[in-house]
Amino acid sequence: MPRKPRKKSETGIYHVIVRGVGQQDIFHEEDDFLRYLDTTKKLSLDSGVSVLGYCLMTNHVHLLLREGYGDISVFMKRLGISYAYWYNWKYERIGHVFQDRFKSECVEDDVYLLTVIRYIHENPVKAFVISKPEEYEWSSCSAYYKADRNTATFPDTSLILSIVHSEKKKAIEGLKKLTEEGNEDHCLDCDKTKRISEREAYEITKRIMKGKPVTALQKMDQDARNNIFSCLRNDGLSLRQICRITGFPFHIVRKA
């Protein structure tokens, strides 16, 4: 069956999510995050699509996009192809990097626009990665808190800050207050499966190791070690979490 046409936003603003194929990580090192952001910035400058906000998690991405003279489908296609080509070259792999086509929802009013930017910036907090959204390096939150509304930047912070208040300082303070408020925001999500927290990951590792310290992996033969890595993956740990907990490099864990 042909795909249904994507719903058109009257405001030209969309909350977009793209995720790794099979829920796998698409960012493993700092260089990966930087590459995706750099590509996003370059494409936004010549595609007619503005980036109002973003958050890069290890296995999925949130983008808040605003169509100008460009089209988000073209923008996302170019972004996905560019990053996938580089990713496959770097990690010496072939095949898809992203799961299906991107998901999107229309953002039709100012109230929901503020809700979405808060939801995006709070993603790493709710995933127990950090305690404050501005501490996360791979989101647009710190850019908003340090924004100069008289200068064109990436991301484009001017629209959202102008909705909060006409004065820059008060706008930033207002956005901080809004973000820190308790909420039960339910916006577009990547899937129904939630990533396990670091605490849960350590508990799962202890159970699978059956009381043995993770250092015991160093003395195991390859088959036994790979079996442990496979069990950790089946129980929901990401490749990055396994590397962080066991101390093994990514290329060894990935090949297990």
pLDDT digits (tens, 9 = 90+) for 204-253: 898 888 888 888 998 898 888 988 988 887 777 877 788 888 988 877 88
- Region 124-153 average pLDDT: 83
In tens, the pLDDT along 178-205 reads 888 866 666 776 544 456 778 888 888 9
SS (H, E, C) 78-101: HHHHHHHHHHHHHCCCCCCCECCC
What DSSP character marks residue 168? H
CA torsion sign for 79, 81, 85, 90 is: positive
Q: Of 2, 150, 164, 16, which is closest to residue 79 (Cα–Cα)?
A: 16
Range picked from 7-11, 32-36, 203-207, 236-240 for highest mean pLDDT = 32-36
User: In percent, how much of the chain has pLDDT > 70?
Assistant: 90
Q: Report DSSP state, residue 127.
A: T
What is the pLDDT confidence band of residue 136, given thresholds at 50, 70 and 90? very high
**Interval 39-66: pLDDT, tens:** 999 999 888 899 999 999 999 999 999 9
Instruction: Determine the pLDDT at residue 74.
Output: 94
On whether the CB atoms of residues 240 and 25 are closer than 8 A, the answer is yes
- Tell me the DSSP string of 104-170: EEE--SHHHHHHHHHHHHTHHHHTTS-SSGGG-TTBSHHHHHT--TTS--SS--HHHHHHH-SSHHH
Q: Are 107 and 10 in contact (CB under 8 A)?
A: no
